[in-house]
Structure 1
Amino acid sequence: MKTTYSRAELLKIDDPFEYEFGLPLKINDLPSSVMEEDIPDSKTKLLEKLAEGYSLIIQKPRIPNEKVFTTLQLLDENEFMKLYTVNETAFTEALWDLLYESEYNLHWSFFLLKEMKGVVFELPYTGGGTRSLTLSGLNANILIHLRLEVDESVTCRWD
């Protein structure tokens, strides 16, 4: 199954990213289109996109900090969260296993991003109130959220 939503269709939905598409982050810039599709295998799709130059972005709580994260590039951190970027050479089987186990963890989010230049990442705080990682500055970019367990993807495009 493959369904594509235009910008005009997205404008008609109250909060398309949280409720309609279930993204684990907030996006300040409305995309030009969003495509939902079933994919044969999430891991294969992830590896293909990393090979194409996409970056895997991972947000996780500061503690615990599993061994697999010691070699990854830290993008940002605050009192509660850490934000990492992973390229094709840094991706490991142990990281895949951890992502798969943590897919539904409330404080984790991960997605693929085509371009990092100009993107602003605003980390959430969990003391007092929880909110999602927020992205802005996504001009001419592609963001892919993989639903690992059900082999689905949501692709957001900005022109």
Structure 2
Amino acid sequence: MIGPQHAHAGLDGLVTGDAFGDSWFTRSDEPAEELWAAREPRPAPWPWTDDSAMAFVLFAHLTEHGEVRPGDLARQFAAEYRRDPGRKYGPSMHSVLRRVGEGEDWRAVTTGQFGGQGSYGNGAAMRVAPLGAWFRDDLAAAREQARLSALATHAHPEA
């Protein structure tokens, strides 16, 4: 069955891993090696990042449409960014999501990144877990839907 039950579980795992993993990043004024060697998690709460924020949007998008519609998804990502821009978005995503949110064509914005080659960062991969679970019974559909999801923010084929 294709659908939300397994995607929701995938989303739970993604958000937990995102928050836990982000807790291991250190500030420049902290003794990173000492903290890592102690292998002690930071005290809670562990806030989640842009990867989870965008995965929530992707899950809601799939719930609404049953498939990825890149233009709609790009605008939904931009709306989430506008709601909470402090979730550790990558440097280029600030510009992309702001511009899409201001009404610029998402295709022009994403393909114009990095001298016209588009972003090939890992953001699209970081948010894709619920999509993989949603389409787990159809590998070809999962691949195509992941490609469409990536296009909403990352135009480079490597993304």
**What is the TM-score normalised by the length of structure 1?**
0.29
Greater per-residue strand proportion: 1
Which entry has the higher C-alpha Rg, 1 or 2?
2
Greater per-residue helix proportion: 2
